[in-house]
Amino acid sequence: MADAIIEKARELFEGQIDFEGQRTAERMMTIALCVVGATAFLVGYITSNVYWTLYVGLGGTAITFLIVVPPWPIYNENPVQWLPAKGKGSADYDIVVDGQRVTSQPTR
């Protein structure tokens, strides 16, 4: 029972996302931070006040953290297609090693 709780905690902290999701997350991070940086500079330049650059920059970075870091469902839409689990007895699928078909049973 404690194992189930620890497993849930581990999943929460790991926040695993699939590979397509990782690619999307990295692209989101790059675009979001570049936009935040450019906007922060322009806002400060137009208002002639450096403080606005700081506020927009820090606020935009906080928003980027919220967009990219938590494992949102959109990052988990292409889960990896694992092969089916190994069955007992004769193999459910072919494993070919050095031109010879082998099974999951250890050879004697």
Partner 1 sequence: MHNTLTRVQNVFGFFTSVAFAVAAAIAISVVLSSQTPSASLQLRNVQVVKGRPHYYSTKREEYAHITFSLDADLSTLFNWNTKQVFAYITASYPSDSPASIPESEAVVWDAVIPAKNAPEHHNTYIHPTKSTARPKTKKERLSLNKAYPPGKEPGILKLDKQKPKYQITDVSGKIAERNNATLTLHWNVQPWVGALVWDNRRTVGRWQGLKGGEAAFEFPPLKATEAKKEDLKTATGKEKNRGSPA
Taking the complex as a whole, how short is the minimal distance between the CB of residue 88 and partner 1, in angstroms? 32
Q: Does 71 bind partner 1 (CB under 8 A)?
A: yes
Query: Given candidates 50, 82, 86, 108, which one binds partner 1 under the rule CB under 8 A?
Result: 50
Taking the complex as a whole, how short is the minimal distance between the CB of residue 7 and partner 1, in angstroms? 16
Q: Does 51 bind partner 1 (CB under 8 A)?
A: yes
Which residues in the 10-39 window bind partner 1 by CB under 8 A?
13-17, 22, 25-26, 29-30, 33-34, 36-37
Taking the complex as a whole, how short is the minimal distance between the CB of residue 87 and partner 1, in angstroms? 29
Cβ distance 25 to 17 under 8 Å? yes
State which amino acid sits at residue 79: P
Per DSSP, the residues of 33-100 read HHHHHHHHHHHHHHHT-HHHHHHHHHHHHHHHHHHHSS--GGGGSS---PPPPPPSSS-SS-EEETTE
Which residues in the 72-91 window bind partner 1 by CB under 8 A?
none
Query: Given candidates 20, 55, 61, 72, which one binds partner 1 under the rule CB under 8 A?
Result: 61
Cβ distance 28 to 68 under 8 Å? yes
Closer to partner 1 by Cβ: residue 27 or 86: 27
Chain centroid to CA 7: how far?
19
